[in-house]
């Protein structure tokens, strides 16, 4: 094994690990007696430095200054560094970087360095999940993500609801990990391979069908697919808002990328056996998510139901089982995550001084107090709703395009995926009702200044401001000009 090459390949991750320990060490030694705000400042800076350094190295790797072609086979698929996976990893690091200023604003816990260390660990794990093609490696990395997220959910110890949500998250998550591991072990048992690159043409023997069904349960939990979604509304509502944002974006990207990687070796017979299960999950998630969201009065809960619905749309691209389908799924989860993180970012900035859960009506009259944030939120929510020219529309369009393109002939109504796409389109129309209800609070309703508890004009801070601005620009730019990213992802 060429250790120098391995070192270069893992340099971004090493830099993040160094930053992680630096943040912990500095916080426990030099910053011991400092004020909370200063400790947050320091931990945030160190973490940001680590992620920026890591990101820079990934960008260099992306230019293919170093070649990693042989790495996948040398490491049994533990590390598959090609343009597509490196792009995903770079975007994950960049989004993780965006979470940091939001976490810094919301000083919920005295365990400062742990908070940032966990954030970095989660980001690190996501980076590994998307670059790994090895069953065990990917599973361990996914667990790293999940465990960090469980712990971060409960960081705000002043809130009992947080503890309850974290416990739910942990128990559901542990069970689902069990299912996933069980499924992966069946997959290994049937193929005698851990390296996904070595698997091809898996047929519809019962063992494999069972393996994939178990995998769907496990990953369905991570993606918040109905009926494995029950944890999501509570966790989204009660986790610290930046953490909820990171659960709703980064971890989704990792899980979706893993799902696509696992489904790549499937042959057409196995595909036909799996499609009914996937289609059922898609329909159920769209129904549960969209109808559930209609009734919500809490914005973070509403975003949780929207996440469930969006996971349903995502599967419409998965059932295509084609190259465009796979690219569309990754593209969609990316643009969804950008918009979702942005929406959570706006909520975090607006509510971290409120001291309680924000109801939708608390945002009334946002356009008078913070017009910039209201416009940013408009961009994020319209992207989630799939309105052009924002990226969410193109993402959704691409999913439907791939689904119909998989089998375009239509002799009868249930040929191909016309019915599934039609269903998803109807559900998108339903979703507009609740997205517009939220936007109505932000942009239409007059501010009720009589109410003492509504949000007050606040200082956004440059880091959070720049983050939200960049996210909004990214959402718009990817809608107008997605071609470069599509090319990178389809490599």
Partner 1 sequence: MTALFTIILSFIGALVCGLMPAGAHHRIRWVALAFAAAGLGVSTVCCVNYSGGEFEDFLEAEWIPSIGISFVTGYDGISLPLLLVTGLVAVCGVLFSWTLESRANQFYAFYFALIGGVYGVFLSLDLFLLFVFYEIAVVPKYFLIAIWGGARRQFAAMKLVLYSFGGSALVLLGMLAVFFLAHDASGEALKTFNLLKLQQGQVPEADQQWIFPLIFVGFAIMAGMWPFHTWAPTGHVAAPTAASMLLAGVVMKLGAYGCLRVAVGLLPAGAQDWAPWVAVVAVINIVYGALVALKQDDFKYVIGYSSVSHMGFVLLGIATLNLTGMTGAVLQMFSHGVIGALLFALVGTVIYSRTKTRMLDELHRLIDRMPGIAWVFIVAGLASMGLPGFSGFVSELYVLIGAWGSLSGWIVGGAGLGILLTFGYTLVKIHEAFFRERKTSDPGDAEISYPAMTLPEKIGVAILLGSALLIGLCPWLLTDKISLSLERMLERFPN
Q: Which residues bind partner 1 (CB under 8 A)?
A: 324, 367, 382, 387-389, 393-394, 397-398, 400-401, 404-405, 408-410, 418, 421-422, 425-426, 428-429, 432-433, 436, 440, 443-444, 482-483, 486-487, 490
Min dist CB 435 to partner 1, Å, is: 10
Residue 342 CA, distance from chain mean position = 12
Longest dimension (CA), the chain: 74
- Cβ-contact 150, 239 below 8 angstroms: no
Residue 308 CA, distance from chain mean position = 12
Return the ∠ at Cα 99 (arms to 247 and 26), rounded to 5°: 115
In the complex with partner 1, the residue whose CB is nearer, 410 or 456, is 410
Min dist CB 410 to partner 1, Å, is: 7
In the complex with partner 1, the residue whose CB is nearer, 66 or 401, is 401
Residue of 69, 59, 45, 47 whose CA lies nearest to 12: 59
CA-CA-CA-CA dihedral for 98, 99, 100, 105, to nearest 10: 110
Residue of 309, 279, 282, 313 whose CA lies nearest to 294: 309
Which residues partner with 359 through β-bridges? 298
Min dist CB 365 to partner 1, Å, is: 12
In the complex with partner 1, the residue whose CB is nearer, 202 or 387, is 387
In the complex with partner 1, the residue whose CB is nearer, 55 or 315, is 315
Number of C-beta neighbours around residue 25 at 10 A? 13
In the complex with partner 1, the residue whose CB is nearer, 127 or 392, is 392
Instruction: Output the six-digit token pair for 129.
Output: 């999940």
71 vs 69: CA distance, rounded Å: 6
Min dist CB 442 to partner 1, Å, is: 11
Min dist CB 219 to partner 1, Å, is: 26
Report DSSP state, residue 152. Answer: H
- Burial label for 61, CB within 10 Å (0-12, 13-18, 19+), is buried
In the complex with partner 1, the residue whose CB is nearer, 79 or 441, is 441
Min dist CB 108 to partner 1, Å, is: 35
Residue 364: asked if its preceding bond is cis (omega within 30°), the reply is no
Min dist CB 338 to partner 1, Å, is: 18
Min dist CB 436 to partner 1, Å, is: 6
261 vs 371: CA distance, rounded Å: 42
- Cβ-contact 169, 150 below 8 angstroms: yes
Min dist CB 279 to partner 1, Å, is: 17
In the complex with partner 1, the residue whose CB is nearer, 8 or 366, is 366
Residue 310 CA, distance from chain mean position = 11
Instruction: Output the six-digit token pair for 76.
Output: 């049994």
Q: N- to C-terminal Cα distance for the chain?
A: 26
Min dist CB 488 to partner 1, Å, is: 11
- Burial label for 28, CB within 10 Å (0-12, 13-18, 19+), is exposed
- Cβ-contact 425, 312 below 8 angstroms: no
In the complex with partner 1, the residue whose CB is nearer, 39 or 369, is 369
In the complex with partner 1, the residue whose CB is nearer, 198 or 490, is 490
In the complex with partner 1, the residue whose CB is nearer, 231 or 417, is 417
In the complex with partner 1, the residue whose CB is nearer, 23 or 394, is 394
CA-CA-CA-CA dihedral for 375, 377, 379, 382, to nearest 10: -130
Min dist CB 480 to partner 1, Å, is: 9
């Amino acid at each position: 094994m060429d250790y120098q090459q391995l070192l270069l390949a893992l340099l971004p991750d090493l830099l993040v690990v160094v930053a992680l320990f630096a943040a912990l060490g500095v916080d426990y030694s030099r910053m011991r007696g400092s004020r909370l705000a200063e400790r947050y400042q320091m931990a945030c800076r160190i973490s940001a430095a680590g992620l920026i350094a890591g990101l820079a190295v990934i960008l260099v790797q992306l230019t293919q200054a170093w070649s990693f072609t042989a790495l996948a086979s040398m490491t049994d698929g533990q590390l598959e560094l090609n343009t597509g996976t490196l792009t995903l990893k770079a975007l994950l690091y960049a989004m993780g970087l965006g979470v940091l200023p939001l976490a810094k604003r919301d000083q919920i816990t005295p365990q400062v360095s742990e908070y940032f260390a966990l954030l970095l660990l989660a980001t690190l794990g996501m980076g590994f999940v998307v670059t790994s093609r090895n069953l065990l490696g990917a599973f361990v990395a996914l667990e790293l993500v999940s465990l960090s997220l469980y712990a971060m959910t409960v960081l705000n110890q002043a809130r009992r609801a947080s503890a309850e949500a974290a416990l739910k998250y942990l128990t559901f998550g542990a069970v689902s990990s069990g299912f996933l591991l069980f499924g992966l072990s069946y997959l290994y048992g049937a193929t005698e391979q851990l390296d996904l690159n070595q698997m091809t043409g898996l047929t519809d023997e019962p063992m494999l069908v069972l393996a994939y069904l178990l995998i769907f349960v496990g990953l369905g939990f991570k993606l918040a697919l109905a009926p494995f979604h029950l944890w999501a509304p509570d966790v989204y509502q009660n986790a610290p808002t930046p953490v909820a944002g990171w659960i709703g974006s980064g971890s989704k990207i990792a899980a979706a990328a893993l799902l696509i990687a696992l489904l790549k070796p499937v042959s057409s017979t196995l595909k036909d056996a799996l499609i009914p299960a996937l289609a059922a999950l898609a329909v159920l998630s769209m129904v549960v998510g969209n109808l559930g969201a209609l009734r919500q009065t809490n914005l973070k809960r509403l975003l949780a139901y929207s996440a469930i619905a969006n996971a349903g749309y995502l599967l419409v691209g998965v059932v295509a089982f084609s190259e465009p389908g796979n690219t569309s799924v990754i593209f969609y989860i990316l643009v969804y995550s950008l918009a979702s993180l942005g929406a959570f970012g706006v909520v975090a900035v607006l509510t971290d001084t409120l001291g309680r859960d924000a109801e939708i009506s608390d945002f009334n009259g946002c356009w008078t107090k913070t017009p910039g944030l209201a416009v940013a939120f408009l961009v994020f929510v319209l992207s989630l709703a799939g309105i052009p020219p924002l990226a969410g529309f193109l993402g959704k369009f691409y999913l439907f395009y791939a689904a119909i393109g998989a089998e375009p002939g239509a002799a009868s109504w249930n040929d191909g995926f016309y019915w599934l796409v039609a269903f998803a389109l109807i559900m998108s129309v339903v979703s507009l009702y609740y997205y517009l209800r939220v936007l109505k609070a932000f942009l239409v309703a007059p501010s009720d200044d009589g109410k003492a508890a509504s949000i007050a004009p606040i200082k956004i801070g440059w880091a959070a401001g720049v983050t939200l601005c960049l996210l909004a620009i990214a959402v718009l730019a990817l809608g107008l000009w997605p071609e470069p990213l599509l090319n990178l992802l389809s490599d």
